[in-house]
Amino acid sequence: MPPRLSFPPLSARIGQPTSVLSAGRSYATANYAPPNPAMAQYAPTQPPSHRAADSRKTQLHRTYLSLLRSTPLMLVFQHNNLKATEWTALRRELLMALSKLSGKGEVDEVASGIRVHVLRGAVFSAAMRVAEYYDPNGGKQHGTSEEAYEQTKKRVKHPLAPLFAGPVGVVVFPVFSPTHLKTVMDVMFPEGRAVKGMDPAAVSGLQKLVLLAARVDGHVATGKLGGGRVLDGSMVRWASGLPGFERLRGQLVGMLQSVGGAELVRALEAIPLGVVRTVDAHRKVLSGELEGEGEKKEEA
């Protein structure tokens, strides 16, 4: 590897005064290995990006991609000229309404994961194309790679694509929970009048919010990566009117018992019980073996 600093040949240097400093420099040059130019383009903690890694758009693209991959439910809304005070009031009301869902002292993981984001539409729709078309097509590289860009840059028509023009935001849920969805819908997109007792700033803010659509599923956890489905406003309202999962399960069990499916319920219950017994038995066997081994070692 050639040295980075060009030195005149030794013959030219003979007779010239030398100093301690120059000796030190030559020592440093000998040990210095310039970084691989391909590696130097990006921060060591981040994979190489097709675009400039330190630009805001690239970082937003990464953020949106991780949002799209990690959320099972995303409400898309339009915000028409909300003032900063109205945003803060609305967020405060939302936090308060969500905190009422759980008892005092309990930490509601779902509620704490609900976020309201205001989007850069074009960057978001680019990220959505990667999430919907690159990932399921066996995307080997990461979302900001050149390969991802090349595969998704053609305008594939996504049903949500026309939405991401103008002032658009999303509400992101960490899991699908009808009770939480209903709370968010009541606070931010009420049908008719707003909830009584709300901050007037929040009320004037929510008048300017318009629910457009929702994106459901398509995240990693369910194995439906890229399989996002699109709901319109009325379907979101219908989904928010569903009772919670606990009540739905209770209804199902009740219905089965009344119809005469008690045996089915028992059979379904028997499976987890059987698993617990088997695992417990296996644990006992394992611990017994381990004790036996310990004794043998002591004897040896």
Partner 1 sequence: MITRYLASAKISFDPFSRGGKTARIFAALLPPDARATGMKVATVVLDRQRRAAAAPAPAGVVELVFKDGRELRLDTTRMSVADVVEEVDRHSRGLARREELAG
Residues of this chain that bind partner 1 (CB under 8 A) = 78, 80-83, 86, 159-160, 162-163, 165-167, 204, 207-208, 210-213, 230, 232-234
Segment holding 230, helix H or strand E: strand 229-232
**Closest to partner 1 by CB, 48 or 167:** 167
Task: Tell me the closest approach of the beta carbon of residue 79 to partner 1, in angstroms.
Answer: 8
Choose between 230 and 256: whose C-beta lies nearer to partner 1: 230
- Residues ≥6 apart with Cβ < 8 Å to 99: 108, 111
Task: Return the number of the residue (86 or 217) whose C-beta is nearest partner 1.
Answer: 86
Q: Which residues have CB under 8 Å from 136's CB, separation 6+?
A: 225, 226, 227
| Min separation Cβ 143 and partner 1, Å | 25
Q: How far apart are CA 39 and CA 56, in angstroms?
A: 21
Residue 64: CB minimum distance to partner 1, A: 19
Find all residues with CB under 8 Å of 165, minimum gap 6, and list them: 121
**Smallest separation, CB 157 to partner 1 (Å):** 10
Torsion angle of C-alpha atoms 24, 25, 27, 32, degrees rounded to 10: 140
End-to-end CA distance of the chain: 58
- State the DSSP code for 161: G
- Identify which of residues 95 and 230 has a Cβ nearer to partner 1 in the complex: 230
Kindly tell me which of 200 and 254 has the beta carbon lying closer to partner 1: 200
